[in-house]
Amino acid sequence: MEQNLIYIVPALGIIGLIVMAIKSAWVSKQDAGDKNMQELAGYIADGAMAFLKAEWKVLSIFVVFAAALLAYSGTIHEINGKEVHGSWIIAIAFIIGAVFSATAGYIGMKVATKANVRTTQAAKTSLKQALKVSFTGGTVMGLGVAGLAVLGLGGLFIVFLKIFNVVDVDSNEMKTAIEVLTGFSLGAESIALFARVGGGIYTKAADVGADLVGKVEAGIPEDDVRNPATIADNVGDNVGDVAGMGADLFGSYVATILATMVLGQEIKVTDAFGGMSPILLPMVICGLGILFSIVGTWFVTIKDDKSNVQTALNLGNWASMLITVVASYFIVMYMLPDGIISLRGIEFTKMGVFGAILVGTVVGAIMSIVTEYYTAMGKPPVNSIIQQSSTGHATNIIGGLAVGMKSTVIPILTLAGGIMGSYYCAGLYGVAIAAAGMMATTAMQLAIDAFGPIADNAGGIAEMSQLPPEVRERTDNLDAVGNTTAATGKGFAIASAALTSLALFAAFVGIAGIDAIDIYKAPVLAGLFVGGMIPFIFSALCIQAVGKAAMDMVQEVRRQFREIPGIMEYKAKPEYEKCVAISTKASIREMMMPGAIALITPVLVGFIFGPEVLGGLLAGVTVSGVLMGIFQSNAGGAWDNAKKSFEKGVMINGEMFYKKSEPHKASVTGDTVGDPFKDTSGPSMNILIKLMSIVSLVIAPYIAVNGGGSEKDMMGKCHNQTECCEGHGKNMDKKDCCKNDSTCEDQDGCCGGVACVCPEGTKCPSKDCKEACCTGKEQCDMKDGKKECCKDKDGK
């Protein structure tokens, strides 16, 4: 058993994929409705595939180029005389990661574009059946993502152990194996970036463009079949909310497990698994999480049309989380050894590791609950925006911005508490395993998440096919729940991204060979500032991209209305594919620049300024990115639901207001501002912070202080004692220079590890002045933090 545990991991992934295939087949077997519905669904499916293909074409160039670069870097075995443990195989891992990520998106998209029309058809019979179809569609997505991730990581790990002939956990071969595995995560996260950003631009360009001309200029309802952009709009739901979200969580899932493995490799334990238990633990927990997520899906069912769909989803979610936590206890107790476990000087027990997992789960739950509170209809935050809509567009905007900013407080305190709590439980390994514990039920989270856009699409098809009102009512019911789950899903995604980044951050520090990231040092602080700024420029680029692409869409829709006679009378079909092409082209064009920033900045900063400044940059990006992500996602969600509230009517100062009233118009402004906030720039923050961390982790061996790179950093500081002793006369932090057993002979020099003043001509043969010059009768004195050596006992 113990020896074969490693094989269980990919097996769990395969089980997940088998269940996925069964569920997918079930969805395909459902009735896809009449010819008209099938035709519309066909347009959506074709549009989605067209986007994926176009995206893949561009990305394949990027993947080949990046893989070549990685392969080259793997051939470097020595930098400035220091050994580097790389291998060209990292390029293979990278490509596999990219392909798996793309496949996960493909699976999700494929099933979503099948499940949408089948949900519409099922809604003709009952809500129960419609929920079953749409949620099963979501489950396929969830299991696909989690299954591929666990299979990929677990399988590659086994393969790499063989390839590199790893016999000892502490060996350099083991280090190489895990470093090569980071390539898998880098591949996954790179694809995720473009899927999330490109998808986000796509969906909002189509949405805003369709609304501006359709609803505002032509006066036709949303999802009207006459609007040339309506198919693009529905494609966008799949591209952004299904494929984008899937790739995002696939990346988080992989990166979290990997970061925990990197830290686990540093832990030395004697266990039944050849010392590998800290490395295997995150994989086992996440693998079993797939099974528990499947169990959780059994709870998601309702009795009849009057049942509460949200309750059913919550039940499934809580069930899978609870089972995972309980099971984690037994897994941790079984796998980890008794007694003290130690990582980088912090000591903890296996009970502490379980405690950290518990902390991670609680953090995830609180983040979801808070997100729901700030964005749900009927709750004070959304109501405050509704009230402020009564005095116009401006006050609606101010209200939404204030809600978004305020909504950062509890999540950040939760996150800070989670960091401290999990660190208290099990050091940095605790922070990483907390993230893994939270991510264990990703399959379930994604199932709930992907259900939303499927229901949204189903409603769109019902509207476009002009089906009877009770069908639309049922899909609207699902859609409303889907909006809430989308919001909580975003909370989960940002929390997971934050914890993942922290885990990666910890792993980075280890591999980069630094033992601190000291923001008291000016260059590190400068890095922190620049890092903090990146989410701002990234957001600005995303927001602007949506604006530009939406304008292109508006022009095209106007053209079609003008040049194709009979559209308005249902006599001529609009050229849907032209609008799809515009959204596709624009999103792929506009995702380049933000993508380049995320990929290139850490490389530049790392190689020019060294690992510690890069650490400062990462911290800045993470803090600012998490804040901007929460702020934008929640502001956007709150604006959206404030607008939606007008559909049933809202009471402002004792008066009822409905759609088309002045306050409603103000709320539409808020919703439009919120669209790129919540679906483009906000969620992109997740990927931004994760990708920059993973890029840093991959380049870490090459910029490592003890492993190569310039010995002297940009600020003229040196990191080894030879140079220190030679040139510490100018602009050098002596404390930094005195790291090793340096034996400078000048008066005010480095005596071993301590900067100190010695009597003229005295050598400092050891770490301490005391030892250095007080070996005989002399005494040592502390003066202003420096040790001064004195000639005799009286201190003269």
Touching its own copies, residues 425-444 (CB under 8 A)? 427-428, 431
Whose CA is closest to 764, among 779, 776, 747, 777?
747
Q: Which of 42, 274, 337, 547 binds its own copies (CB under 8 A)?
A: 547
> Could you say whether residue 21 binds its own copies (CB under 8 A)?
no
Q: Which of 624, 634, 661, 693 binds its own copies (CB under 8 A)?
A: 624
Site for its own copies in 120-149 (CB under 8 A): none
Cα–Cα distance, 584 to 236 (Å, whole number): 9
CB-nearer residue toward its own copies: 776 or 785 = 785
> Could you say whether residue 580 binds its own copies (CB under 8 A)?
no
> Could you say whether residue 168 binds its own copies (CB under 8 A)?
no
Site for its own copies in 377-406 (CB under 8 A): 388, 391-395, 397-399, 401-403, 405-406
Site for its own copies in 628-647 (CB under 8 A): 631
- Could you tell me if 438 and 450 are in contact, meaning their C-beta atoms sit under 8 angstroms apart? no
Which residues of 344-410 form beta strands (DSSP E)? 346-348
Q: How many residues form the binding site for its own copies (CB under 8 A)?
A: 108
Site for its own copies in 473-502 (CB under 8 A): 502
Q: Which of 61, 516, 568, 604 binds its own copies (CB under 8 A)?
A: 516
The β-bridge relationship of strands 82-83 and 341-343 is: unpaired
CA distances from 401 to 388, 651, 670 (A): 12, 22, 10
Whose CA is closest to 321, among 374, 263, 362, 380?
362
> Could you say whether residue 533 binds its own copies (CB under 8 A)?
yes
We find the least distance from the C-beta atom of residue 297 to its own copies, in angstroms, to be 34
We find the least distance from the C-beta atom of residue 785 to its own copies, in angstroms, to be 8
Cα–Cα distance, 19 to 107 (Å, whole number): 13
Site for its own copies in 181-220 (CB under 8 A): 212, 216
**Tokens at residue 155, please?**
């399988």
CB-nearer residue toward its own copies: 378 or 785 = 785
Site for its own copies in 326-345 (CB under 8 A): 340, 344-345
Helix (H) or strand (E) holding 520: none
**Tokens at residue 120, please?**
């519409």
We find the least distance from the C-beta atom of residue 246 to its own copies, in angstroms, to be 27
Q: Which of 526, 579, 692, 703 binds its own copies (CB under 8 A)?
A: 526
Expressed in angstroms, the distance from the first to the final Cα of the chain is 70
- Could you tell me if 137 and 262 are in contact, meaning their C-beta atoms sit under 8 angstroms apart? no
Site for its own copies in 774-793 (CB under 8 A): 784-785
> Could you say whether residue 355 binds its own copies (CB under 8 A)?
no
- Could you tell me if 360 and 418 are in contact, meaning their C-beta atoms sit under 8 angstroms apart? yes
> Could you say whether residue 522 binds its own copies (CB under 8 A)?
yes
We find the least distance from the C-beta atom of residue 220 to its own copies, in angstroms, to be 18
Site for its own copies in 691-730 (CB under 8 A): 714-716, 728-730
> Could you say whether residue 600 binds its own copies (CB under 8 A)?
no
Site for its own copies in 266-295 (CB under 8 A): 266
The β-bridge relationship of strands 341-343 and 346-348 is: antiparallel
Q: Which of 21, 49, 346, 790 binds its own copies (CB under 8 A)?
A: 346
We find the least distance from the C-beta atom of residue 76 to its own copies, in angstroms, to be 23
Cα–Cα distance, 602 to 598 (Å, whole number): 7
Contacts of 645 (CB under 8 A, 6+ apart): 377, 378, 382, 386, 667
- Rounded to the nearest 10 degrees, the angle between the axes of helix 127-163 and helix 469-512 is 20
Q: How many CA atoms lie less than 13 Å away from 648 in the CB half-sphere?
A: 8
**Tokens at residue 285, please?**
């927990």
Q: Which of 82, 124, 767, 791 binds its own copies (CB under 8 A)?
A: 767
Cα–Cα distance, 671 to 684 (Å, whole number): 19
> Could you say whether residue 627 binds its own copies (CB under 8 A)?
yes
We find the least distance from the C-beta atom of residue 784 to its own copies, in angstroms, to be 8
Three-state SS across 133-160? HHHHHHHHHHHHHHHHHHHHHHHHHHHH
Q: Which of 148, 247, 269, 623 binds its own copies (CB under 8 A)?
A: 623
> Could you say whether residue 544 binds its own copies (CB under 8 A)?
yes
- Could you tell me if 356 and 430 are in contact, meaning their C-beta atoms sit under 8 angstroms apart? yes
Site for its own copies in 731-760 (CB under 8 A): 731-736, 741, 752-755
In sequence order, the β-bridge partners of residue 657 are 650
Q: Which of 536, 596, 647, 649 binds its own copies (CB under 8 A)?
A: 536
Site for its own copies in 222-251 (CB under 8 A): none
> Could you say whether residue 766 binds its own copies (CB under 8 A)?
yes
